[in-house]
Amino acid sequence: MSTPVLTFWAPIVCLVALLIVLVVAYGYRSRGQGKYKENTDQTQIFLSGENAPDESQRHIRSHNMYWGFFEAMKRYYDPAVRAHTGIVNDYLIWLLALAAATAIAIFLADLV
């Protein structure tokens, strides 16, 4: 028993629908206020009355967006950031230390 087909694919119908949407969108847009004054504050970003900074200064980095997350996890992140010195030798020591600890843990587990 075949399942009933609830959808269909007809490219012409999709194109016509797209055309109708575009015409409606264009009509809606053309009813908007187009008499704004160029090169004045009317074209500037609204920041509660504050002066909008230059475009290069507007970028909000992901670190800013996660401020609350980092603040809440500060007790974890502060030691972790300190441990990441950027020196390869330090990372190799961490690797060797963790490998040794794992080996000892496996050895002890085997004894039990």
* Residue among 49, 68, 79, 86 that touches other proteins (CB under 8 A): 49
Contact range with other proteins by CB under 8 A, out of 12-20, 22-30, 39-47, 66-74: 39-47
Q: Is residue 51 near other proteins by the rule CB under 8 A?
A: yes
Q: Taking the complex as a whole, how short is the minimal distance between the CB of residue 30 and other proteins, in angstroms?
A: 16
Q: Is residue 4 near other proteins by the rule CB under 8 A?
A: no
d(CA 70, CA 78): 9
Q: What is the largest CA-CA distance in the chain?
A: 83
- The answer for residues whose C-beta is within 8 angstroms of residue 58's C-beta and 6 or more apart is 45, 52
Q: Is residue 37 near other proteins by the rule CB under 8 A?
A: yes
Contact range with other proteins by CB under 8 A, out of 3-11, 38-46, 68-76, 82-90: 38-46
Residue among 9, 28, 5 at smallest CA distance from 17: 9
**What SS3 state is found at 31?**
coil
For 83, the token pair is 């441990």
CB count within 10 Å of CB 102 equals 10
Contacts of other proteins in 65-94 (CB under 8 A): none
Q: Is residue 31 near other proteins by the rule CB under 8 A?
A: no
Q: Which residue ranges make up the site for other proteins (CB under 8 A)?
A: 33, 35-37, 40-42, 44, 46, 48-51
